[in-house]
A and B are shown apart, each in its own frame.
Chain A
């Protein structure tokens, strides 16, 4: 691991912290440096502490660390909030002429750089550019060529006119010159540049881009932190590819609109967070039992209820696996990295259509608002494949009609997968319903058909288990005695933690699992290891429960689901039969 550099800008919400941080992150990315960003923020528009943090290295960075080398502090609280991360020799850039910063105390072991940010900004054309002055000062401290800042400033301000771009460039240089002239201190940093080209994006953006790449044409959603960026990304972009975004009146409506578009034959999606999933769960059973392909993205945040809306948690796993009354299969995918957010979104659409069921695609707050650099080849659009599954047209529909000529969207098949006909397909008219139905989609309470339809829906899962690759990603020492299992966005931190552990002479094997259901069978891996540790960002260990569930085979099961209760004599026979099977086995 080459030396990494950790930088942050912090102040009050409304101080332009986000855009300032983003400009610096982009400048580093354009200079061929890897970047990993994170945000401290509150659920409010103005006031309250907020910060944008950047970790950068010439090598790949995929986690945050508890260390801050250079901090631009617009408020005294920014320093207080980061005292743990600041260390001996950390540089704090601040404006001592700002009323609130006049009496600020810089800890003795740190280096305070007092730059008249506002005054220099005004000289360059406007006080609003004070953060850019600070960026210029940071460039000088970090020995980062200021020219790299220029292209990021152009990207940010070009639509507002060349004059503004020029003023900002001048403001940045004013900050740099001030530090160069007033401080003859030798700083330890040297942010070298490389010739690499990187793109910089966060998880929500990767999901949005994946959706467009996969041919998603319709998105309905209701704004909610931290999923809103998916909608923001798609708005104005999906239209360029023939799609449309609707901001619905609530999540109940959003998912039903998405369902309607899917019944119309569009690749369709909604994104929300836990509280929205609560509402959408109302419609979940309908989507699944009507065998409608739909991608439901859940960008998790800290719950329950309103919880901590701007904080990280992976607490919705059980909700996605088990949410909704009754029993019906669904897939749950959990990309473990930002680039995988893109690819798993593409995969989610293919799985949804091939197996005609709802697919939960889950990310979490950390991944959603974190930006990371990647080689643009990571998102090679030529590699995107679209598989729409078993869709019939006028020429093939005849094979799927009943004796009376009705189309059979729930045809009983060996693999559980039935034909789909989009509206407009001749002879394809059919009913889709949340009621139990026969092969034509017509309501039924027939005990045999009920069982056939339940089994058919479940057979799709077995088919998917056989046909698709559900492997986890493995790294670390494959022969290690200790197995660490994780899912979702923890992978980056774990990957770097493995290196720290190796430095201390402790080898571990890591399995990072992006598939929650269906999921890889880890029983052999678990049995083979001396120690098994499951890492997840929640209190109950919801994935750990699944891992334990999968290795335990103790009970036989008697199940009945044809709509009729157990009868005493029948149950006695069932128990006898079960015991007899057990003896034979």
Chain B
């Protein structure tokens, strides 16, 4: 292997690693706040990419129907409790109907009536995000909120079920064929004989911007601090009026946004199938495990390591690429279990 190839593989690794890092951050966030190991994270990657691809070829993405169905389901679940509260809950009922019924209808009108096929790419991306991202809090409401106090294991089982359901729906919505979207830009950069594609720069740049934005959100904004507070001390946060439900929905919103955006970023680099998300999400999960599902910077570094390891092993032993990446989890777990004190789960 000469330097040229090493640089090429390194570039590949960093681009993939950046995506894994984003997903690892989302997994750590969701776990810290809700104790849910969010296996369906990967489905948001696939849904984001495939929804964009559908919009670009003028098809109606099936995720739109999911958005509307879940909107009705959430309304049906939340309305009775608000109804019982009587007139005090009036604005809340309007808010609920606005978010869960009116919003999906507006998005549907845009998708079906406004010819998004001919829109500029940026608007298509925003529309795809507008379809996919609200699915995060909706799924939290339907699948996790009723069992928010359950054990980590039960939440994990629900995650597996949700993952399988969403993969099945993905097949129904988008078919078995994969899709690839056009690159954000055709520009490329020559650095010392190495060609860096515009899309690679987009991926790395957007990931960095997102990571900085997330950092600012958690350090500076009230809601970011509220999420951190919930992760640190759930009982204390509730006494401040930070509801577990609010924190859960907010973290799922962020996770869905990160997932969908990751999918949209990598869609021009690799063909995305309805079930691609799972593998991508799992690699983010390996990164998150390196960080012990607790540390954001270590998780991001771990995810970058996963990306580089994957790139180099695909060159040296491409048949074992996935095996090598996932085997990484074993020494990491051994090392973690030797170096950290085991803490019994509270509650």
A, B from the same assembly:
no
Q: Which residues of A contact B (CB under 8 A)?
A: none
Q: Which residues of B contact A (CB under 8 A)?
A: none
